[in-house]
Amino acid sequence: MKYELQYKRYAEKAILVEWPSEIDENILQDLLFYKKSIEIFYDKLIVEVISSYNSLLICYVSTIEDVYDKILELKSMYNKDFQHVGLKNRLWKIPVCYTTTLAKDLEVFAKSKSLTIDEIISLHTASLYKVYFIGFLPGFFYLGGLDERLHLPRKLTPSLSVKKGSVAIGGNQTGVYPMDSPGGWHVIGMCPLDLFDPKSENFCFVRPGDKIQFMSISEKEYNDIGSLVFNGDYIPQSALL
C-alpha cells in the first residue's frame, strides 16, 4: 500500500517527508522500507535519515540547491517497488525486575489501576511491543502495544531524576529510560541493560521495526545481569522476525 506523502524543505540541508498523522504498523513498515531505500540509493550523499511515528527527516551532506528536483527524485523512488530492500528486524527479550524496592511507583501504580502487582507483571510481559522510533533520549524506545488496562496519564508533577534502567508507563506508552533523566512516567520496574552505548558503532542494539518483550526477573537475577553487563559479558536475547 502506498500513501499520499507530504514533502517539504526543512532546512538548507534537509527535507521532511510525512505520512498520515497516525500511529500504525503499516505506516511504520512503509516508512522503514522507504528509509532503507533512501539510504541505499544516496549512500554518501546523505548524513542520516531520522524516523519518527509518521515522518522521515533526510539530512544531506551539502546544501540542497534545487529542492523541487530533489523532491521529484524522492517521489520517484517512493513509487518504485521496495521488494529489493531487506529489513532484518529482531525480537528482543528485555529483562525487568518488578519489585517495590527498585520500582518506586509500582505500589502506587497498582493501587491506582486496582490491580495486584502480579497482574501488572503479567499484563506488562504478555505483550509484544513494536519499536516505532528511538528518541527523546539516545536509546529511548517509543513502543506501541501497551495493554489498555495499564494506561495511566503521566504524573502531574514530573520527577526531577528518574534512574537509568527505569521501566515506566506514561499514558498509553511504556519504555525504558536509557540514562538518568527528569521524567513524568510511572516507574514499575528496573532493567539492568545498557540501552545506549556511545562507544558502539550503532549506539543502540535495538532498531525501529524491531519488537520487544519484557521478561520478569528476580532481584538477584537483576544484580547478576547488571554485573555481567558492567563487565561486557552479557548479550541480550534476540531472534530474527
Question: Quick count: other Cβ atoms within 10 Å of Cβ 93?
Answer: 12
Percent of the chain with pLDDT over 90: 83
Query: For the domain with range 90-240, which CATH number is right: 2.40.100.10, 2.70.150.10, 2.60.40.10, 1.10.20.10?
Result: 2.40.100.10
Q: Which of 182, 179, 207, 208 is nearest to 194 (CA)?
A: 179
- Given a cut of 80, whether residue 82 has pLDDT beyond it is no
What does the pLDDT read at residue 120? 98
Please report which confidence band the pLDDT of residue 143 belongs to, taking 50, 70 and 90 as the band edges. Answer: very high
Average pLDDT on 94-122 reads 97
What does the pLDDT read at residue 162? 95
- SS3 sequence of 159-214: EEEECCCEEEEEECEEEECCCCEEECCEEEEECCCCCCCCCCCCCCCCCCCCEEEE
- 228 bridge partner residues: none
- Please state, in angstroms and as integers, the Cα–Cα distance from residue 38 to each residue in 18, 131, 208, 238, following that order: 15, 20, 16, 27
Please report which confidence band the pLDDT of residue 227 belongs to, taking 50, 70 and 90 as the band edges. Answer: very high
- Given a cut of 70, whether residue 148 has pLDDT beyond it is yes
List, by residue range, all CATH 2.40.100.10 domains of the chain: 90-240
Helix axes 25-42, 67-78, angle to 10 degrees: 120
List, by residue range, all CATH 3.30.1360.40 domains of the chain: 6-78
Average pLDDT on 132-137 reads 89
Q: Express each pLDDT in 22-59 by its tens digit.
A: 889 999 999 999 999 999 888 888 999 999 999 999 99
Q: Express each pLDDT in 158-197 by its tens digit.
A: 999 999 999 999 999 999 999 999 999 999 999 999 999 8
In this structure, whether the domain defined by 6-78 belongs to CATH 3.30.300.30 is answered with no
What does the pLDDT read at residue 206? 94
